[in-house]
Amino acid sequence: MEDEYLDQLSEDVQALVAEIEQKAELEIEIEVDPSRAKGLPDQPDPLACVIDEFGVRILLPKADQFPEGAVLHELLHARRFLVEGIPQIAVCDDHWNDKLEQSYTALDNSLEHMIVVAEELARRPDRRSRWVSTVERALTRVEAGKLPEIDRDITALLVFALSKHVLGNGALLGRAEALLDRLGLRLRAAKYFADLVPSLASKEKMTAVSFSHFGLSKETACFHYIDAREHEVREVSLSKV
pLDDT digits (tens, 9 = 90+) for 97-153: 999 999 999 999 999 999 999 999 999 999 999 999 999 999 999 999 999 999 999
For residues 43 and 204, the model is more confident at 204
Report the distance separating Cα 203 and Cα 128, nearest Å: 24
Domain boundaries, the chain: 1-84
Instruction: Tell if the pTM clears 0.85, that is, is over it.
Output: yes
Q: Band of the pLDDT at 39, cuts 50, 70, 90? A: low
In this prediction, residue 173 has a pLDDT band, given cuts at 50, 70 and 90, of very high
**155 in Cβ contact with 146 (< 8 Å):** no
Using 50, 70 and 90 to split pLDDT, how confident is the model at 37? confident
Q: How far apart are CA 192 and CA 29, in angstroms?
A: 38
Q: What is the pLDDT of residue 51?
A: 97
Greatest Cα pair distance, the chain, in angstroms, is 52
Smallest CA-to-CA distance from 107 within 82, 89, 92, 134 is with 89
What is the rounded distance in angstroms from the CA atom of residue 147 to the CA atom of residue 183? Answer: 13
Q: How far is CA 182 from the centre of its chain?
A: 26
* CA gap 89, 221 in Å, rounded: 7
**Residue 226 and residue 7: Cα distance in Å, rounded?**
28
Question: Residues 135, 114: contact at Cβ < 8 Å?
Answer: no
- The helix, strand and coil proportions of the chain, stated in percent and rounded to the nearest 5, come to 60, 15, 25
Pick from 72, 69, 65: nearest CA to 32: 65
CB 115 within 8 A of CB 107: no
Q: Are the beta carbons of 167 and 132 closer than 8 angstroms?
A: yes
The per-residue pLDDT for 50 is 96
